Structures are given as structure tokens and as C-alpha cells.
């Protein structure tokens, strides 16, 4: 079985990156912060999936998406995009009862980047697991 393709968004505002707080539904599963994004559905491009997932998870509409790089993720390789969104405040998406339980959203400090970075985009770890 091949790994599923994913897309993730780096959305920066005032030096902070928008992250999604989630909890596993499995017994003993943990909590984590992750970039908005998710799996690419059949027939979608990674950019189409990115736009859909950002809207589903944050209510924000992507106005520009620039491909930055591929990064490994626990469930498959992820295409990371630097994203600009239409003005508005993010709001947590609805709980579909299937995937991880959404706990909220927050703007977390963007990682420091050297000025000579080839990407020019602060890429935080795609997922930060919280101790239980």
C-alpha cells in the first residue's frame, strides 16, 4: 500500500504561524500541534487539496499558494506551501467524528530563519507532539 500524499500550509501573520491543535481518538493517543492541511483526495492536485483543507480546518480562504518543499510526515510525504489568505480570523473547523479531534487553533511563534534561507519561509515542524 502506498503512502497517501498530503499538503500543508504555512500561514504567517505578525511573525506567528497558524497551527491546528488536535487530539487522537485512539485510547492512549496524544495531542499535537500541526500545520493546517491534510490528505490529497483522488483527482485533486496538492494545491487544490491545500485550499480545501485550509478552508475546512480554519475557515480561511487561500488567495495565494507558493510551493516550497516536500517534507516527510507520519502518514506520507507532504507538499508544503507558503500561503496568503483573504482577511479574516481563523475558526476551528467542525469535528467530523472520524479523524483527529480538533481542539483549536492558535498563532504560534515562527521559527527563526537565517536571512540566507533559500526558501524565505519559516517552516516549523509539521507536527509537534505534546507530552501526555
Q: Which residue has the cell 483522488?
A: 42
Please report the pLDDT score of residue 115 as a whole number. Answer: 44
We report the CATH number of the domain holding residue 14 as 3.90.79.10
- Structural domain includes residue 39: yes
Closest of 62, 38, 63, 60 to residue 49, by C-alpha? 38
- Structural domain includes residue 127: no
Please report the pLDDT score of residue 120 as a whole number. Answer: 55
> Domain of 36?
6-112
- Structural domain includes residue 47: yes
pLDDT tier at 117, thresholds 50, 70, 90: very low
Amino acid at each position: 500500500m502506498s503512502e497517501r500524499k498530503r499538503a500543508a500550509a504555512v500561514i504567517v501573520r505578525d511573525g506567528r504561524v497558524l497551527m491546528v491543535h488536535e487530539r487522537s481518538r485512539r485510547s492512549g493517543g496524544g495531542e499535537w500541534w500541526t500545520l493546517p492541511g491534510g490528505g490529497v483526495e483522488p483527482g485533486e492536485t496538492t494545491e487544490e487539496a491545500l485550499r480545501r483543507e485550509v478552508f475546512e480546518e480554519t475557515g480561511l480562504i487561500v488567495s495565494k499558494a507558493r510551493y516550497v518543499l516536500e517534507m516527510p510526515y507520519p502518514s506520507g510525504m507532504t507538499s508544503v506551501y507558503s500561503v496568503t489568505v483573504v482577511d479574516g480570523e481563523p475558526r476551528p473547523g467542525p469535528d467530523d467524528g472520524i479523524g483527529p479531534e480538533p481542539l483549536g487553533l492558535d498563532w504560534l511563534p515562527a521559527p527563526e530563519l537565517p536571512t540566507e534561507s533559500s526558501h524565505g519561509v519559516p517552516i516549523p515542524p509539521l507536527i509537534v507532539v505534546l507530552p501526555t
